[in-house]
A and B are shown apart, each in its own frame.
Chain A
Amino acid sequence: MKEIDVFREMASRTTGDRPPDIHVTEQVLATLARRSAAPTELLWALTGASAALVGTAATLAILAVQAWQTWLDPITELFSLCYQVMP
């Protein structure tokens, strides 16, 4: 007996095997509705992310300026002192 004959015999025994009765119309339409709404949601998500990014960048800039001011004055004073001491 060839391998395909065995296979066909096994396959023939499955005649009468039926899938469960399922209905997917509502779920498919709901999925498609969600997909069509997705661009708006994406836009809002991007807007939110952009706002958060701008806020973070502004905070970091303020902190950098404050740090610069804190360290700038002592360094400037040190250089001016060295300049005065130099012959």
Chain B
Amino acid sequence: MTAYMLSIGVQPTAGHARGGAWLAALYAAAARPAGAPEESIDLADVRRSLGGDQEAYARLIARYESKITGRLWKFTRDPQALEELAQESFVEAFLSLKSYRGEGPFISWLNRIATRVGYRHWKRQRQGRQMLPLEDWHGAVVNPSVGDDPVYAADQLHSLLAQLRPRDRLVLTLLYWEDCSVAEAAAQTGWSQTMVKVQAHRARKRLKLLLEKAGLLKDEGERQ
């Protein structure tokens, strides 16, 4: 710890040497002071980070890592992969930090990066993925005792979405799981709003086929 802190220009103190104390101090410093506008604090830390102050960037990470892991948890169920994706997101964010102008909340800008990192992860995972039998999803939905467990429900939803192409999965996740608007989804993905709508239409058609195949979607005639 001390060696890498010296290498990045951070002067270790006695607190740093104790490891946990350094992190505790960092998280205390990362917390937003009462009444202070979040955006101005973030922008100040971004500017300090660009000036070479690594502790400022550490504060930004500490402030937003729980939100970013929350977003990335929609992209993976594996804690190890989650940690790697979170690291990748913050490294990528640091390398693009100059492009943050403070025109919107820092978390929105970070979320865009995390979404793209997660999407790349899906594309990498696309080949050689394991598919769960369709009957398992049916069980989760029709069996209320199992369906009440949010962890199990999330596992099932991920399994269902994994059957779709990454583009379909992304648009469904953002629009119907994260409840983003079309404009927000467009900002997160870097697509145009028209593209988001077209992609959503296609994704819904494929989702419908998938749900029908799994027996989760009864057609109109069957229900009457």
Contact = CB atoms under 8 A, between A and B. Distances in A.
Contacts of A1: 217-218, 223
B207 to A, nearest CB: 5
Chain B interface size, as a band, is 35 or more
B170 interface: no
Contacts, number: 112
Nearest to A14: B154
B152 to A, nearest CB: 9
Interface stretch (A27-35, A49-57, A59-67, A71-79): A27-35
A19 B7 contact: no
B151 interface: yes
A29 B49 CA distance: 12
A14 B72 CA distance: 15
B86 interface: yes
Interface string A16-51: 111111111111111111011100000000000000
Interface of A: 1, 3-4, 6-11, 13-33, 35-37
28 contacts: A4-B207, A7-B172, A8-B176, A10-B141, A10-B153, A13-B148, A13-B150, A16-B150, A17-B73, A17-B154, A18-B70, A19-B73, A20-B69, A20-B79, A23-B65, A24-B65, A24-B87, A25-B26, A26-B23, A28-B57, A28-B91, A29-B57, A31-B91, A32-B54, A32-B57, A32-B91, A33-B8, A35-B91
